[in-house]
Amino acid sequence: MSKQTYSVCFCCRRRFKLALAEAPPEIKTLFHTYSDNELMTTSQLQRFLVEIQKQEKATIEDAQAIIDSLKHFHRKGLNLETFFNYLFSDNNLPLIPSLGVHHDMTLPLSHYFIYTGHNSYLTGNQLSSDCSDVPIIHALKRGVRVIELDIWPNASKDNVDVLHGRTLTTPVELIRCLRAIKEHAFVTSEYPVVITLEDHLTPDLQAKVAEMVTQTFGDILFSPSTESMKEFPSPESLKKRIIISTKPPKEYLEAKEIKEKGDDSQNGKASGDDEAWGKDVPSMKRGTTADVKDTIVDEDLNDEEDTDESDKSHHNEAPEYRHLIAIHAGKPKGGIHECLKVDPDKVRRLSLSEAQLEKAAITLGKEIVRFTQKNILRVYPKGTRITSSNYNPLVGWMHGAQMVAFNMQGYGRSLWLMHGMFKANGGCGYVKKPDFLLKTGPNNEVFDPKAKLSVKTTLKVTVYMGEGWYYDFKHTHFDQYSPPDFYTRVGIAGVPDDTVMKRTKAIEDNWLPTWNEVFEFPLTVPELALLRIEVHEYDMSEKDDFGGQTVLPVWELRSGIRAVPLYSQKGEKYNSVKLLMHFEFY
């Protein structure tokens, strides 16, 4: 097709509206089944909602509200065109917007997956980007509930900066970050915000931090009545509260003690495992025996858990700083076995790198699950992720890890999974862990992440069609001289046996692609399954172009024919791009 002909083809936008000719045959058949004389009445629409959409509680009033929402049309019912438009509308989403927070929020914090950021102050890569309060604000607005701040003495040693230590990142003042957290903490969610501090301060500067924190947050700062808690409080009891988590104070260790090793380690090769959208999420089938050598040799030395509790010297500590700490962190002496021991009288937080967790999971999977039933486990990216890429979060979640810490300033498939997980439970940043991760059997047994499980349910997905690219993209974005050739990838991110990706055929030269393809996904652990959806534009000579993505928590997915909005690589919702899909469980 010539460029001139192509331009003429798009002069009239009406061609790209949802037209009856584009409606999949199944949609037309359903309309005729639930209508008379080309009109679907209120009672027939209600029956469609109950029988096809599996909305068992749908009432005549609900059906009438749908009809009323489609303005300028017949109040007595829907014709095929308006029915088709309804199916593609925001009134027919795969997750129920009005559901809101519906999990039991009165259990201890250790019973929840918590939306967790890593190096939350960085604007870009881990080595040379600016430190700022802006990414903190963006994270809080997205619903992130755990903000990490690395605190260091400023250049003159008389105040406190936030920066990624021993790198070229430019610092930002701590007070600026604290004020940003106070202002934006509860804009999206009223559930508690945890600030994890990676502390590199002298006792006098720790005292200064204590003063800043108490003056900034005042009454909303949660201070426990005792230094150690037998059980964590609940998210419900901590609504609109700020919680500090770090190791108890120790004498300040000059950075030069590990500067040499730190400088050498920063020359490691960046993993770039999800640069843009190109490479897929690392598979646990291949990755559970990951070689720890490609992490920074001494990366733990730069983590807040770096010093054994028994070695800490407290005679110069700032008591007011210690009093701030509600969630105590620390690695006991004796290796990973000691770290995972459960103290019946005290709860705590433990941090492991992604590689440490993968290594421990090979032989200690059940011990990790047992630890996380009462205590909090934080998993953080390995030090070679210079580009702010991320890892497979399912490794942490299937072992009960509450704080799977991600670089929210990056983007890519791993981060899309994180966005998808925390669409659950009203997007409040807390998702109750499945019961099997919380229960102990009669013989003190716990869930075994390595156990071979039977299929609990099967998710059947029909990919009908897509629309909206014509309005949200430049008309030459995908191809200079012809309409795009879209295909859809659909699959599951979950435990290893459930994880799979499939794809449709590419539909050539069409802004309104219709695939009508069916996929089935047997699920052994649907409670941890995330439905992955991506659209790409096939390019024979170059890398395929990106056309949108979303990730949906399977356990909250609505059955029936649904309009699925797609998002950009950075997780921003497109104005118009949607897929029409059918979800069935059996």
The SS3 call for residue 117 is strand
Helices 80-87 and 25-33: angle between axes, nearest 10 degrees: 120
Q: Which residues sit opposite 172 in a β-bridge?
A: 162
Token pair for 185: 């903490």
Vertex 315 angle, CA 313 and 316, to 5°: 100
- Is 23 strand, coil or helix? coil
- Per DSSP, the three-state class of 152 is strand
What is the C-alpha to C-alpha distance for residues 46 and 63, in angstroms, rounded to an integer?
5
Q: How far is it, in rounded angstroms, from Cα 326 to Cα 346?
A: 12
What are the structure tokens assigned to 429, written together?
């940043």
DSSP 264: H
Catalogue the active-site residues. Answer: 118, 164
- The torsion angles phi and psi of 63, rounded to 5 degrees, stand at -65, -40
49 closest CA partner among 68, 30, 32, 36: 30
Collapsing DSSP states into helix, strand and coil, what is residue 242?
Answer: strand
Residue where the block lists tokens 């795969």: 94
Decide if 288 contacts 449 (C-beta within 8 A): no
Mark out the alpha helices in 235-374 (DSSP H runs).
256-265, 284-287, 319-324, 336-339, 354-374
Whether residue 329 contacts residue 351, with contact meaning beta carbons closer than 8 Å, is answered with: yes
Q: Residue 522: count other Cβ atoms within 10 Å of its Cβ.
A: 15
Q: What count of other Cβ atoms lies within 10 Å of the Cβ of residue 533?
A: 23
How far is 193 from 235, CA to CA, in rounded Å? 10
